[in-house]
Amino acid sequence: MSLHTLTVCQLRDKIRTGEVSSREATQSLLDRIATVDGKVKAYNWLNDDDALAQADAAKKDGALAGVPVAIKDVLNVEGQPCTCASKILQGYIAPYDATAVRKLREAGAILVGRTNMDEFAMGSSTENSSWGTTRNPWDLTRIPGGSSGGSAAAVAADEAFAALGSDTGGSIRQPAALCGCVGLKPTYGRVSRYGLVAFASSLDQIGPFTKDVRDAALLLGVISGHDPMDSTSVPRAVPDYVAALERGVKGLRIGLPKEYFIPGMDREVEAAVRTAIRQWESLGAEVVEISLPHTDYAVAVYYLIATAEASANLARFDGVRYGLRVKGDDVIDTYGKTRGAGFGSEVKRRIILGTYALSAGYYDAYYLRAQKVRTLIRRDFEKAFAKCDVIVTPTTPEVAFKAGEKSGDPLKMYLSDIFTISVNLAGICGVSVPCGFAHKLPVGLQIIGKAFDEETVLRTAHAYEQATAWHKERPVL
């Protein structure tokens, strides 16, 4: 078995025993990237020499002793570029580590490179990148999902043992589903956002992409915990997520929301998900029907709240302190020319939408009303969890679509996240795991849990994974 095909836990154990060195594992991974990334285009930035130097200095006693991990190009890593896949941040080198990145280092991880993404995490296909489009390893004519498409594609193509991404409306779970790997969105406040370039501050959350659920549990344990540098970080103890995996699902109540099995959904996707639900029943879980009645409003609510917060957050990119500067006749002209040249069309679209929603005369009609409906969506989940322990849905209504297929129709693109957005609005946790194939492409299964109940979500996912073999399938490149 080639080293680059190992899981994080497998590789860590081999490094600890001395069977394999961190340098050997890192070199194997770099060789794999050199062989296939010309096709996949998962990475924006690599520094082979730096990665190997980190490997030589890696400690063997950490939770991630000597294991290389890829980082989405939206998280600051000291000494590395952080472009958010945007021209406006060209030349910017991060002067500090994000808290999640610092915790990876402390656990012994090797930070191997920067993965491609939709610009400023705005997109569902990784086509909105100034670095070019990442391709789905299962079919290079198709998209890998987004906005963390580079991280998902890297893990699926064995170009990364694991990767970090960010999830604002499904940007971890959706690409994980479309690329056939595991993607976890933790509860809002579980993982510090310090050092994550903000898109929508009340929705963003950092999480891992991995090859299996055990690795996801391990990485979540490493990056979680209270951080005084993030005012939204919640001071709660971090459980042993790996130990929780073995509890099984006997007696567990699995909720099926009728609003997530909709007309127009791909029949093969629905069939794969329903087969997975029967698998849980065979393991002793109980399936109950539930309702999340405000689901239909989630996309509209999300695209008001997220764009409003983006319009405020992205005001800091003005060409004055860092990044691109296009000189104008005066300060205002410089701002306009810099932002006009630096931002892509999707980012401009969302800034305009958000600024409009926050403007005088429209704030109450749009932004404030969206926040009120957001509360109703959260209450839907609270009522549902009185009847069940976890909620299971498809992660996406269809498999990966062709590159360019939806880029001319923003509304169709926005609907790609229809099953994932509500989790962010409610601030709860969810994971996507592989559950089969439709049209020879991966299908993702979403497991949603209560706030700070990642343990139950992960053990539910692990029980299913252990009873099936979908997570072992790999694309041929």
Is residue 291 very low, low, confident or very high in pLDDT (cuts 50, 70, 90)?
Answer: very high
Confidence of residue 412 (pLDDT cuts 50, 70, 90): confident
| pLDDT tens digits, one per residue of 413-442 | 988 899 999 999 999 999 999 999 999 999
| Mean pLDDT confidence for 297-307 | 97
**Cα gap 99→66, rounded to integer Å:** 19
Question: Which pLDDT score is estimated for 64?
Answer: 97
Supply the pLDDT for residue 44: 97
pLDDT score for 262: 84
In angstroms, the CA 351 to CA 344 distance is 11
**Is residue 264 pLDDT above 90, yes or no?**
no
Domain that holds residue 46: 3-233+240-247+459-472
Q: Does a structural domain hold residue 194? A: yes
Q: What is the pLDDT of residue 380?
A: 98
Calculate mean pLDDT across residues 16-31.
97
Domain assignment of residue 205, yes or no:
yes
Q: Is residue 63 part of a domain?
A: yes
Q: What is the CA radius of gyration of the chain?
A: 21
**Residue 22 counted as domain residue:** yes
Helices assigned H by DSSP within 18-88: 22-40, 48-57
In a domain, 269, yes or no: no
CA distances to 308, 310, 354 from 370, in Å: 11, 15, 12
C-beta separation of 221 from 191 below 8 A: no
Q: Does residue 336 belong to any structural domain of this protein?
A: no
More confident site: 407 or 224: 224
CATH of the domain at 70: 3.90.1300.10
Is position 389 within any domain? no
Number of structural domains the chain divides into: 1
The count of residues in the chain is: 477
Mean pLDDT, the chain, integer = 96
Q: Residue 298: its pLDDT value, please?
A: 97
- Residue 86: pLDDT band by 50, 70, 90 thresholds? very high
- pLDDT class of 280 with cuts at 50, 70, 90: very high
Mean pLDDT along residues 313-339? 94
Mean pLDDT of 341-351: 97
Q: Which two tokens stand for residue 7?
A: 């899981």
Is pLDDT larger for residue 415 or for residue 151? 151
| SS3 letters across 92-104 | CECCCCCHHHHHH
pLDDT tens per residue across span 99-147? 999 999 999 999 999 999 999 999 999 999 999 999 999 999 999 999 9
Q: Is the pLDDT of residue 409 over 90?
A: no
pLDDT for the residue 461: 98
pLDDT digit string, tens, across residues 177-209: 999 999 999 999 999 999 999 999 999 999 999
Whether the per-residue pLDDT at 1 is higher than 80: the answer is no
Q: Using 50, 70 and 90 to split pLDDT, how confident is the model at 359?
A: very high
Cα three-residue angle 468-473-477, rounded to 5 degrees: 175
100 assigned to some structural domain: yes
Q: Which residues are marked as active site? A: 72, 147, 171
